Amino acid sequence: MRQIHSGLVHIVKSKDFIADHPLRGDGIVTSHRGVVLAVQVADCVPVLVADAKRGSVGAFHAGWRGTAKRIVERGVGSMRAVFGSKREDLYAAIGPCIHSCCYAVGDEVIDEFRSQFSYADELFSEVYDRDPIKEKYPLLFLTARAPGHSNIGPQTHLDLVEANRRQLLDAGIAGEQIWSAEECTSCRTDLLFSHRGEAGYTGRMMGVVGLLK
């Protein structure tokens, strides 16, 4: 799939489907056995969903834009509508991604989330810069800007894991059937690829899910 930070979900109907339909989107679902679905990430949230009973799977790529477009909620909705998945049979995994500790966001993101989600404020936290150099020599970092426009002070961080967990819950998946990885990609650049943590020069991780033949 060519990922475009959208809310588009594709249904893979056969093994030949991909070759015939170059896919642009951020969600992919199938009930076809022997097909492996994948999303690629390096900070964005990879979400994998499986229906253990009826046999269907989905893979979703949720950066902040895709999350705001409810890619995961739509994707699970597609699985329920197309394959008749029941909520009690669905299991979800949220893979390693950037966590709120490292995910400072600007007004554009804050405004977009507030316009989309009634619970948006529960996803944000204020984090003070803990740069030891700045703490030791605060005067070096004082700016000549007017009060209220200084860049010293709390930054707003977004919790994309929680945002996508909420979408899984809203799509009907039980909380105890949602697993999420503990690792933050930006904190663990020794182990994981992180777009932010490595200033854009990094690789990609792949989240894959499929049904055995």
- Evaluated on CA atoms 95, 105, 164, 45, the torsion sign reads negative
**Selected binder of Zn ion within 23, 93, 102, 110 (CB under 5 A):** 102
- Per the structure block, which two tokens stand in for 161? 């894991």
State in angstroms the smallest separation of the CB of 100 from Zn ion: 8
> Where does this chain touch Zn ion (CB under 5 A) — which range of 14-22, 102-110, 112-120, 201-209?
102-110
Residues 173-212 that bind Zn ion (CB under 5 A): 184, 186-187
Query: For 12, phi and psi rounded to 5 degrees?
Result: -90, 115
- Whose structure tokens read 């900070």? 43
Cβ proximity to Zn ion, 187 vs 211, nearer residue: 187
Q: Using the minimum distance from each CB to Zn ion, give the nearer residue, 9 or 184.
A: 184
The whole-angstrom separation of Cα 193 and Cα 213 is 31
Give the residue, chosen from 36, 101, 152, 174, that forms a contact with Zn ion under the rule CB under 5 A.
101
The nearest distance, CB 164 to Zn ion, in angstroms, is: 16
Query: Per CB under 5 A, which region of 93-101, 145-153, 154-162, 204-212 contacts Zn ion?
Result: 93-101
Supply the minimum distance, in Å, between the C-beta of residue 200 and Zn ion: 17
**Contact criterion met (CB below 8 Å) for 196 and 44:** no
In what helix (H) or strand (E) does residue 135 lie, and over which residues does it extend? Answer: helix 132-136
Provide the CA 43 distance to its chain's centre, in angstroms: 8
Closer by beta carbon to Zn ion, 109 or else 184: 184
Q: Least distance to Zn ion from the beta carbon of 103, Å?
A: 8
Q: Residue 35 in contact with residue 152, Cβ under 8 Å?
A: no
Segment lying near Zn ion (by CB under 5 A), choices 42-50, 59-67, 101-109, 111-119: 101-109
CB contact at 8 A, 208 and 30: no
- The minimum distance between CB 75 and Zn ion, in angstroms, equals 26
Measured CA distances, 121 to 100, 162, 163, 186 (Å) = 13, 12, 11, 23
Q: How far is the CB of 105 from Zn ion (least distance, A)?
A: 14
**Which chain residues interact with Zn ion by CB under 5 A?**
99, 101-102, 184, 186-187
